[in-house]
Amino acid sequence: MAAFRERRNVFILAVCQMLSGSGRTLIAASSPLVALGITPDQALATLPITFLVLGTAFTTFPASMLMRRIGRRWGFVVGGLVGALGGVFAVGGVLLANFWLFAGGNGLFGAFLAFAQLYRFAATDVAPDDFKPKAISLVLVGGVAGAFVGPELAKAGIDLFASSRFLGSYLFLIVVTLLSSLVVLAVDIPKLTPTEKRDPGRPMAEIMRQPAFITAVVVATIAQADMNLLMTATPLAMRHANHLFADIALVIEWHSFAMFAPGFITGTLIKRFGNLPIMFIGQIVQLVAVGTALSGQGVEFFWLSLFLLGLGWNFSFVSASTLLTSVHTPSERAKVRGVNNFIIFGIVAFGSLMSGALHHFLGWQWVNLVTLPLIFIAVVTVIWFVYAGRSEKSN
């Protein structure tokens, strides 16, 4: 019976991941282009996505603590309703050609994504240790469908209303977000017991000093920051290179596919080889992605670079997320996951803001070059953790 519940939860959460992923890729493909149409300052074209990431960053900890209080199911429902409200604001921004209203809508949708970031962890709450890597990766597989659904909805909605380009796209955003709130009602994850709620766990400062926590957060943050920095600037770079929106959507689709499709095997690879080798491989793949992006600006270069970027993200992010589950007790998980996601998306928000400015003032090459020191830091952190682990064992 327990095994059935685990797999049922994974399936439901994967569907929710597909719906939230559809919204995320819809925005990734269209938001910078909508912004260009309603603001004269091209350097601000990625600001709505920065609002999205800030919305995620500032909601991660409250989302975790709310779920500790009311449970996963109703927490996810609340998140979906906030995301739908963001869609309403974005529709208003498109209709009124109001840049700040549109950006605010992106920010509220980002708050929903803070809740959606917890889908992968929710799948592990009632899973045995040997199933946790697979549970995380299988939930992320839901993003495979979202990889294609989101950009296709963006394309379908561009000219749905002749008076306002992309209006239909953001109406679709409201629909998929509301659907996520309905689907998640079927998830079956028990609340914390009264004893677990009363147990505050260890101080966060003590948990954060663990080498496993440091490594998980550093690798996940850099994987997410590199991915977001390049993905956010890609529509602008492709438009600057005179590529069609259909080509932009294609690149974003396959990038998102590469982010989530490996979920069929990533958990198995982690179980067989361990977290650290998969983290290391993920960073090397992201390095190759940057090299590809610097090699040319034809559609094929954008496609291959973003595909590899997504693949590297999957290996790095899933393995880092799995490592994080080893550092906390059930009573500590809300604050640990909240702090983890706050750090990740706080730094990513800065990167997404820099993305538009870097592209506008320095060009596509520099957007890629700034990721190289970050990849180096991630690789060094993994190597440090290997030696830190050996030192602990010897002591």
Tell me if 359 sits within 8 A of 236, measured CB to CB.
yes
- Give residue 300's pLDDT band: very low, low, confident or very high (50, 70, 90): very high
Least confident range from 94-108, 126-140, 189-203, 212-226: namely 189-203
DSSP E strand stretches across 8-146: none
Contacts of 221 (CB under 8 A, 6+ apart): 343, 344, 347, 348
Least confident range from 18-22, 195-199, 328-332: namely 195-199
pLDDT at 309: 96
> CA torsion 17→319→370→107, rounded to 10°?
30
pLDDT tops 70 at residue 192: no
Q: How far is the C-alpha of 185 from the C-alpha of 231, rounded, in Å?
A: 32
Q: Rounded mean pLDDT of the chain?
A: 86
Least confident range from 84-98, 313-327, 347-361: namely 347-361
pLDDT tops 50 at residue 394: no
Tell me if 98 sits within 8 A of 44, measured CB to CB.
no
What is the CATH class of 2-189+200-394? Answer: mainly alpha
Q: What is the pLDDT of residues 43-70, one digit of tens each?
A: 777 789 889 988 988 898 898 889 888 8
What single-letter DSSP state applies at residue 200?
-
- Give residue 195's pLDDT band: very low, low, confident or very high (50, 70, 90): low
- Give residue 126's pLDDT band: very low, low, confident or very high (50, 70, 90): low
pLDDT at 112: 96
Q: How far is the C-alpha of 6 from the C-alpha of 169, rounded, in Å?
A: 34
Give me the numbers of helices (H) and strands (E) for the chain, helices first please.
18, 0
What single-letter DSSP state applies at residue 40?
S
Contacts of 77 (CB under 8 A, 6+ apart): 181, 184, 185
Q: How far is the C-alpha of 106 from the C-alpha of 48, rounded, in Å?
A: 6
pLDDT at 199: 67
Tell me if 331 sits within 8 A of 192, measured CB to CB.
yes
Q: What is the pLDDT of residues 352-385, one digit of tens each?
A: 777 777 887 888 899 899 999 999 999 999 999 9
pLDDT tops 80 at residue 252: yes
- Give residue 303's pLDDT band: very low, low, confident or very high (50, 70, 90): very high
Higher pLDDT, 88 or 147: 88
Residue 317 is encoded by which pair of tokens? 């992010």
Number of Cβ within a 10 Å radius of residue 363: 14
What single-letter DSSP state applies at residue 164?
S
Q: What is the pLDDT of residues 172-184, one digit of tens each?
A: 999 999 999 999 9
pLDDT tops 90 at residue 149: no
Higher pLDDT, 106 or 197: 106
Phi-psi region of 352 (alpha: psi -120 to 50; beta: other; left: phi over 0): alpha
CA 163 to chain centre: 33
Q: What is the pLDDT of residues 316-341, one digit of tens each?
A: 998 998 899 888 877 787 788 888 88
Least confident range from 11-25, 264-278, 321-335: namely 321-335
Q: How far is the C-alpha of 296 from the C-alpha of 294, rounded, in Å?
A: 6
pLDDT at 350: 79
Q: How far is the C-alpha of 216 from the C-alpha of 340, rounded, in Å?
A: 9
Name the residue ranges covered by the structural domains of the chain.
2-189+200-394
DSSP E strand stretches across the chain: none
How far, in Å, are 12, 24, 176 from residue 110 at the CA level? 21, 9, 14
pLDDT tops 50 at residue 257: yes
pLDDT tops 80 at residue 292: yes
